[in-house]
């Protein structure tokens, strides 16, 4: 009979359950076997998802008078937790149990955690300890640690950690894994690592936990090192599962390690994990982040099951690679277009294309779905309208957003700054800080850009200092570019030069190029000469450095030096890019080409000695314009 019960648990034929009960009732040993039989059948009903069968079994249990049996009662509780959608019914079953042991209480505590109700789980734990007089076991403590993690309350988690240590459970793998997750979720990596390191022999779940929390906290290289350490313990039976490989792929993707990613992919295939949707989604995301979109698409096309995460990963890869048109094309054929992250990604693609019509269509679809109030989508909408030049509409939408995160604030600040509303961008930045939202590096790029385009030098200096002194944010190349642009626009070229020389990006050509452009506008021969020479050293093929230096020498009458610069330019094979302009004449678009083939004689005679200058008006079609316009804009910047 026991063997038969176990068989039914693994493969339960529902109609055979009552038959087995009826048959066992005629057996002389039914009083001995019935509790075990009922518990086994309840487990079978739970495993098969047959709640109606479980209810019939519950009726038989009540009629048989076995509802007071501790073993049967715990099995009933497990059935209701798994299959009953109404928690109040499950709670009633628990309250009706005459004997509640640690298993009963733990079922309730863990059940609330699994249902996403951590506060009620903790309340149940307090009742268990205070009124139930029941000592928690390892599974109980792991559940309350998980509840603390879900609430984001690391102080409460530390209290439970102390309880774990006083009861000698610190080497329990289930509890250790929960503690690692709890500390890692709140960026307490030292505590998470200490819990892991104190384990004498971590199992695969513990290894996966530490790798996961390191990845969550952007410690990708250390996560990769932990994975290799885990693989060296393979002879101890520690084998990575799908979640381990999924986390590994995330780390490799963020590190841009395509070669190691391919090796890991091969290991996934040989381990038989190709059908695991978590692994495959992480794999295609890894390829996308490494720039291998063809490989990413191959993984996607081979997948049998595609969920929202899978679609998001592929769309995000195309968006990251700035293949915005592919994002829109893929979105049109997919059948999972109602996810907020997918909406956010597609809206970013619309912003990248300045595709306002498609963006408005998505906005309408978002409104028709009703009641989302999702900060990811609404932040993307603000960014879309700002990048498409509809800054008033973007600001109106921004004011209607009830919950704003840092991304929302940054989208509005940068949008206002880029649309010539520098003063308003600064006001929004100050409002964000007063509201308690801590700015990040993107916030300061936006506010410094705003100061630059409104000529607010003192405010720009103040924000640049505040970024490091008040918020501990190291100034990046973008922040230096904004400051150099700000100082250069108002003619403070020497201060801009000193800022570059005293900073850690003194050898970055983009900063000197920005200052070089300002030297062409503001008359400062000494600074212009130093900047041009520095650019010639950093970027020998950058033609504007030579042209500017030659012009500086001409402006102060140093004709021989100007001639030497032109000779050096020719010796190095540096050519000035042709200038192009378009004009419409009689409904025909014509292009004017100006090529600078000036040689040494240019400095000695008249304009007749400029044989390389070509002025022509030739009809140009739209394809030619599109082909030539983009390189010119990039060159001029």
Q: What value, to the nearest 5°, has the Cα angle with vertex 197 and ends 196 and 198? A: 90
Q: What is the model's pLDDT at position 174? A: 93
In terms of C-beta density within 10 A (0-12 exposed, 13-18 middle, 19 or more buried), how is residue 471 classed? middle
Give the pLDDT means over successive 10-residue stretches in the chain (637 positions).
Answer: 42 46 47 66 79 81 77 80 78 82 88 89 90 86 94 92 92 94 90 93 93 94 94 86 93 94 93 88 93 92 87 91 91 76 90 91 85 81 93 94 91 94 94 93 95 91 93 92 90 90 86 78 75 77 74 76 78 67 62 50 37 42 39 32
Specify the pLDDT at position 581.
Answer: 66
Domains of the chain and CATH, by start = 1-99 (no CATH), 208-306 (no CATH), 308-390 (1.25.40), 475-576 (1.25.40.10), 577-637 (no CATH)
Q: What is the pLDDT of residue 258?
A: 93
CB 340 within 8 A of CB 377: yes
Question: Do the beta carbons of residue 150 and residue 116 sit within 8 Å?
Answer: yes
Distance CA 514, CA 520 (A): 10
Say what the pLDDT of residue 544 is: 73
In this prediction, residue 373 carries a pLDDT of: 74
- Calpha distance 385→354 (Å, rounded): 9
pLDDT at 265: 94
Say how far apart CA 446 and CA 448 lie, in whole Å: 6
Helix (H) or strand (E) holding 591: strand 588-594
Which pLDDT value is given to residue 223? 94
Q: Give the model's pLDDT for residue 82.
A: 78
The dihedral of CA 312, 314, 320, 325: what is its sign?
negative
Q: Give yes or no for a contact between 164 and 179, defined as CB atoms under 8 angstroms apart.
A: yes
| CB burial of residue 389 (10 Å; 0-12, 13-18, 19+) | middle
3-state class (DSSP) for residue 582: strand
* Phi/psi at 53 (5° precision): -65, -40
């Amino acid at each position: 009979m026991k063997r038969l019960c176990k068989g039914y648990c693994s493969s339960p034929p529902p109609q055979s359950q009552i038959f087995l009960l009826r048959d066992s009732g005629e057996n002389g040993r039914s009083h001995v076997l019935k509790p075990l039989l009922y518990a086994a059948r309840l487990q079978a009903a739970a495993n098969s998802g047959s709640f109606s069968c479980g209810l019939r079994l519950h009726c038989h249990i009540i009629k048989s008078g076995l509802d007071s049996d501790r073993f049967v009662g715990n099995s009933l509780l497990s059935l209701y937790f798994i299959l009953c959608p109404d928690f109040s019914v499950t709670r009633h079953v628990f309250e009706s149990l005459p004997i509640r042991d640690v298993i009963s209480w733990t079922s309730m505590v863990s059940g609330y955690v699994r249902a996403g109700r951590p506060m009620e789980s903790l309340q149940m734990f307090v009742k268990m300890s205070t009124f139930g007089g029941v000592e928690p076991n390892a599974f109980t403590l792991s559940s309350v640690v998980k509840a603390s993690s879900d609430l984001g309350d690391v102080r409460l988690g530390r209290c439970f950690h102390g309880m774990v240590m006083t009861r000698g459970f610190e080497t329990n793998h289930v509890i250790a894994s929960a503690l690692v997750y709890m500390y890692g979720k709140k960026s307490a990596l030292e505590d998470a690592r200490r819990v892991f390191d104190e384990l004498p022999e971590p199992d695969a779940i513990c290894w996966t936990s530490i790798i996961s929390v390191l990845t969550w906290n952007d410690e990708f290289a250390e996560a990769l090192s932990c994975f290799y350490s885990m693989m060296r313990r393979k002879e101890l039976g520690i084998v990575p599962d799908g979640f381990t490989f999924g986390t590994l792929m995330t780390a490799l993707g963020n590190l841009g390690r395509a070669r190691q990613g391919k090796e890991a992919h091969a290991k996934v295939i040989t381990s038989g994990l190709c059908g695991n949707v978590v692994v495959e989604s992480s794999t295609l995301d890894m390829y996308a982040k490494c720039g291998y979109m063809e490989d990413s698409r191959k993984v996607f096309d081979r997948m049998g099951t595609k969920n929202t995460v899978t679609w998001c990963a592929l769309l995000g890869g195309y968006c990251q690679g700035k293949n915005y048109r592919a994002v829109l094309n893929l979105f049109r054929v997919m059948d999972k277009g109602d996810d907020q992250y997918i909406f956010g990604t597609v809206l970013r693609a619309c912003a990248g294309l300045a595709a306002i019509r498609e963006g408005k269509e998505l906005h309408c679809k978002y409104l028709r779905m009703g009641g989302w109030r999702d900060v990811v989508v609404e932040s993307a909408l603000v960014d879309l309208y700002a990048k498409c030049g509809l800054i008033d509409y973007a600001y109106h939408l921004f004011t209607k957003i009830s919950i704003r995160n840092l991304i929302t604030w940054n989208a509005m600040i940068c949008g206002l700054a880029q649309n010539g509303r520098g003063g308003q961008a600064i006001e929004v930045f100050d409002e964000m800080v007063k509201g308690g939202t801590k700015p990040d590096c993107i916030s300061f790029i936006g506010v410094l850009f705003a100061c630059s385009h409104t000529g607010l030098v003192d405010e720009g200096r103040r924000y640049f200092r505040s970024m490091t002194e008040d918020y501990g944010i190291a100034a990046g190349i973008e922040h230096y570019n904004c400051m150099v642009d700000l100082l250069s626009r108002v003619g403070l070229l020497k201060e801009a030069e000193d800022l570059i020389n005293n900073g850690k990006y003194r050898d970055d050509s983009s900063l000197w190029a920005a200052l070089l452009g300002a030297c062409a506008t503001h008359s400062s021969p000494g600074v212009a000469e130093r900047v041009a020479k520095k650019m010639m050293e950093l970027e020998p093929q950058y033609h504007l450095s030579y042209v500017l230096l030659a012009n500086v020498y001409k402006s102060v009458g140093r004709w021989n030096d100007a001639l030497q610069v032109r000779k050096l330019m020719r010796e190095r094979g540096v050519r000035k890019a042709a200038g192009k302009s378009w004009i419409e004449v009689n409904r025909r678009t014509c292009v004017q080409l100006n090529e600078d083939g000036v040689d040494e004689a240019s400095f000695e005679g008249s304009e007749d000695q400029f044989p390389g200058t070509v002025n022509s008006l030739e009809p140009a079609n739209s394809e030619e314009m599109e082909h030539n316009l983009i390189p010119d804009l990039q060159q001029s910047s």
